Amino acid sequence: MTELTQSISQVYEQPLNERVRLLLRLEIIFLQAIRHKQARNQYETQMCLDALFALLNLTNRYELRSEILKELERIRSMLVQLLREENANAEKIDGTLIELQTCADILHGLDSKHIDRIRNIEFLNIIKQRNIHDTGSYLFEIPELQYWLLQAESHREKQIQKWLDDFMPFKRAIDFLLSLIRDSASPEVMIAENGIYLKTIDSRLHMHQLLRVRVDENYNVYPRISGGKHRFAIRFMEQIQADTRPKQTEKNVRFSLQTCVL
- pTM: predicted TM-score of the whole model, two decimal places: 0.88
In angstroms, the Cα distances linking 244 to 1, 42, 229, 239 are 35, 33, 32, 7
Number of domains forming the structure of the chain: 2
**Is there a domain that residue 54 lies in?**
yes
**Is there a domain that residue 15 lies in?**
no
**Is there a domain that residue 206 lies in?**
yes
Judge if 89 and 159 occupy the same domain. Answer: yes
Judge if 64 and 24 occupy the same domain. Answer: yes
Judge if 208 and 118 occupy the same domain. Answer: no
Judge if 122 and 53 occupy the same domain. Answer: yes
In angstroms, the Cα distances linking 201 to 26, 229, 232 are 27, 7, 8
**Is there a domain that residue 153 lies in?**
yes
Q: What is the DSSP string of the chain?
A: -----S-----EEEESSHHHHHHHHHHHHHHHHHHTTT--SHHHHHHHHHHHHHHHHHHHHS-HHHHHHHHHHHHHHHHHHHHTSTT--HHHHHHHHHHHHHHHHHHHT--HHHHHHHHT-HHHHHHHHTTTTSTT--GGG-HHHHHHHTS-HHHHHHHHHHHHHTTHHHHHHHHHHHHHHHTTS--EEEEEBTTEEEEE--TTT--EEEEEEEE-GGG--EEEEEE-SSEEEEEEEE-SSTTS--EE--S-EEEEEEEEE-
Judge if 46 and 160 occupy the same domain. Answer: yes
Write down which residue in 178, 211, 235 finishes a domain: 178
User: What's the CATH code of the domain at 255?
Assistant: 2.60.440.10
Judge if 192 and 246 occupy the same domain. Answer: yes
Write down which residue in 161, 178, 195 finishes a domain: 178
Nearest-angstrom CA–CA distance, 118 and 129:
15
Judge if 32 and 144 occupy the same domain. Answer: yes
Residue 7: its pLDDT value, please? 56
User: What's the CATH code of the domain at 139?
Assistant: 1.10.3900.10
Write down which residue in 124, 159, 178 finishes a domain: 178
Residue 76: its pLDDT value, please? 95
**Is there a domain that residue 13 lies in?**
no
Q: What is the pLDDT along the chain (262 residues), one digit of tens a residue?
A: 445 544 556 799 999 989 999 999 999 999 999 999 888 887 888 889 999 999 999 988 778 999 999 999 999 999 999 988 878 888 999 999 999 999 999 999 988 899 999 999 999 998 888 765 555 556 677 888 888 888 888 888 999 999 999 999 999 999 999 999 999 999 999 999 999 999 988 766 667 899 999 999 999 999 999 877 788 999 999 988 888 899 999 999 999 999 998 8
Judge if 156 and 222 occupy the same domain. Answer: no
Judge if 85 and 208 occupy the same domain. Answer: no
Judge if 157 and 245 occupy the same domain. Answer: no
Residues 6+ apart with CB under 8 A from 139: 42, 145, 146, 149
Structural domain for 115, as ranges: 20-178
**Is there a domain that residue 1 lies in?**
no
Judge if 151 and 190 occupy the same domain. Answer: no
Judge if 57 and 160 occupy the same domain. Answer: yes
